Structure formats: C-alpha cells, structure tokens
Amino acid sequence: MAGTAQPQLWSARKMRWVLRYYPPLFFQRIVLVHVAEDFRTARVRVKRSLLTRNLNGTTFGGTIYAAADPIFALMYWQALARRGVATQSWLMASRVQYRKPVTTSLALDFSLSAADLDAAEAELRRRGKAVRVHPVEARNEQGAVCAELELVTFLRLLGTPDLPAF
C-alpha cells in the first residue's frame, strides 16, 4: 500500500550535528544554531569569514542561498515523521531578492505553524504529494533585512510511485 513506509525519526541534536559537519555548509560557515525538538522552528547563522566574502568584501549571494536551501525540507520531513507520516522532501524552487550588501554575520529564522503541518499532511494523504511555500528573511547583526527568500518545498509520501511536481 502506498505511503505505508515507517518514518525515520532524528533528534534535534542529531540534525544540528549532521548539518554542522555537512561539507557544503561547513565550508561556508553556515551553522544550524537552533532547531526545536518538534522541528517547527529553526535558526541558521551565516558566520562572516574569509571563506564567505566575495571580491567586494561582502557575503556571497550563494552562501545566503545555501543557508536557506535545506531547512524547510528537513523541518517538514521530521515534523511530519513525528505525526507518523513518512515523507521525502526537497527544495523544489526558490526566489531570492538581495536587498543590501552583507558585511556582518546573518541570521535566518524558519517557522512552521500547526496549520502548515495540517495542510501538508492533508494534501499528502489526498494526493501523495504536497507543495509548500514559505518566506524567509536573512537579517544582519543590526536586524536589517539583507535578503528575502521565497522557498518552495516539495513533499511526497514514501512508498508512492514517482509523482510529477505539479
């Protein structure tokens, strides 16, 4: 029967540890500094360093993008697993608006509401797949928005045949 796979549960601590040493994030000084035990909130920090600076001395746009890339997919994967729903998830699409050059470290905050999870679960049970869209702001140390991102996460039930994105 489709969608009957068992969900894989990770602890918040394991998620932080795995992402801390994941090479694409590690070498860009991207750190998951907080993730709630229920995976409904997370905070990512992009540390300013020589490895993240472009020729203008500001943070690479790709570094900012990389900091946001996996987070909602991982949050949905684990938050839904806690509800007994086994999924695969990934970033399907995104839009980024860079607002100002970044000359300090950055913080990105991610949040899923109960309504977000309810809607995703309902769509997964009805169609075997779901598409969710969330905004995120990258803020510098003074709190100014340096980049606005719109992240589109694709979810599918494990055990379902490959489904087209739309």
Please provide the DSSP assignment of 51-114 as one string.
GGB-TTSSB-HHHHHHHHTTHHHHHHHHHHHTTT--EEEEEEEEEEEE-S---S-EEEEEE--H
The predicted model scores a pTM of: 0.91
pLDDT at 159: 78
pLDDT at 2: 53
- ∠ CA(154), CA(108), CA(142), 5° rounding? 160
Higher pLDDT, 111 or 52: 111
**Band of residue 1 on the pLDDT scale cut at 50, 70, 90:** very low
Q: How far apart are CA 45 and CA 139, in angstroms?
A: 10
Q: What percent of the chain has pLDDT over 70?
A: 93
- When pLDDT is averaged across residues 90-104 and rounded to a whole number, the result is 96
How confident is the prediction for the chain on average, in pLDDT? 93
Which tens digit of pLDDT belongs to each residue from 133-149?
Answer: 999 999 999 999 999 99
- When pLDDT is averaged across residues 104-118 and rounded to a whole number, the result is 98
pLDDT at 43: 98
- When pLDDT is averaged across residues 114-120 and rounded to a whole number, the result is 98
Give yes or no for residue 162 having a pLDDT over 80: no
